[in-house]
Amino acid sequence: MTMQQADTATEVKTFISSENLLNEWIGHRRLTRRVIEAFPEDQLFTFQIGGMRTFGAMVKELLDIGATGVKGMVTNDWGTTDFNNHHMTDEQKTKEYLLQQWDLSTEAIIHWFPQISEERFQETVKSFGQYEGHVYSSLLYFIDNEIHHRAQGFVYLRSLGVEPPAFWNRN
Amino acid sequence: MTMQQADTATEVKTFISSENLLNEWIGHRRLTRRVIEAFPEDQLFTFQIGGMRTFGAMVKELLDIGATGVKGMVTNDWGTTDFNNHHMTDEQKTKEYLLQQWDLSTEAIIHWFPQISEERFQETVKSFGQYEGHVYSSLLYFIDNEIHHRAQGFVYLRSLGVEPPAFWNRN
């Protein structure tokens, strides 16, 4: 390895800006919203495979993480989410409620995310008072977790005979 | 909004460096490898839900994308992958083959990824000669696609009565 290559290897290169990362996430949220919309209402809180949670319960977890998590990165206020119990009342167990909360969460993410400073992304944080990691890594984890549970929703839909929305379409 | 806030809002902030993003991906690849390992050998190329592909076939798609995709970002050589036919011979349809190819792909990703320049991440590219987007977005898509199919593997495992590896563990 020449010295020039060694220099290049240790140079810090930006992979993505916070603005573009937020846009990627918003694209994911549009797709996840379509998966919620596509789910048969009468199966949303009843259908499951292999002892897993219902898709409605998974979406509730995503709702408990997304906006609250981003706000926490800015304010260090993590709300009162109980991760052992993503509770919903019987009245809340509807597609309409999930979609309404989904849209409110997306708005809140768009409000809070740009308030995270460049330095903050590199800091170590205890998300929700318990999960330690870099801010950038924790935010990616929130997105990974959304992709993960949405993909499980894809299998549930296929199993119910419903064609899921196109994975590649984020518009 | 004060002028100062307006300035802050338009400032370009780094979300993550290429080195840290690569480390995140390598963490994902460790987890995906454990899902392949956990899959019962006799179900890898036979078990499916709702008319979907087998998990082995999904892993073959991931193998066709990852290393070849990253190398393509550097060289513009996209290999000869046929995305309409992620072909495997009968002899290749084993867990051992998938794990061996997985490790070779990870090594190749670690080799090629650091050779992508900061400017290149912002360029528009036609991945595999057909999927147009920014380089950063296309690379994130490769990772999203891995998370997506791995999560479907989680459902297959649960359906087969096998507990999947912990989602949060990337070590």
pTM of the entire predicted model: 0.93
Q: What band does B19 get if pLDDT is binned at 50, 70 and 90?
A: very high
Mean pLDDT calculated for residue range B112-118: 97
Phi/psi for B118 (5° steps) reads -60, -40
Q: What band does A11 get if pLDDT is binned at 50, 70 and 90?
A: confident
Q: What band does B10 get if pLDDT is binned at 50, 70 and 90?
A: low
Tokens (6 digits) for A90: 């019987």
Would you kindly state where each structural domain of chain A is located, as residue ranges?
17-159
pLDDT(B112) > 90: yes
Q: Which residues of A touch B (CB under 8 A)?
A: 9, 12-21, 24, 28, 49-52, 114, 117-118, 121, 131, 134, 136-137, 140-141, 144-145, 147-152, 154-161, 167-168
Percent of chain B with pLDDT over 90: 88
Using the beta-carbon criterion (under 8 Å), do B15 and A13 form an inter-chain contact?
no
- Cβ contacts of A31 on chain B, cutoff 8 Å: none
At A10 the pLDDT is 64
Using the beta-carbon criterion (under 8 Å), do B167 and A159 form an inter-chain contact?
no
**Sign (positive or negative) of CA dihedral A112, A116, A122, A123:** negative
Mean pLDDT calculated for residue range B79-95: 85
CATH H-level superfamily of A17-159: dinb family like domain (1.20.120.450)
What is d(CA B51, CA A161) in angstroms, rounded to the nearest whole number? Answer: 9
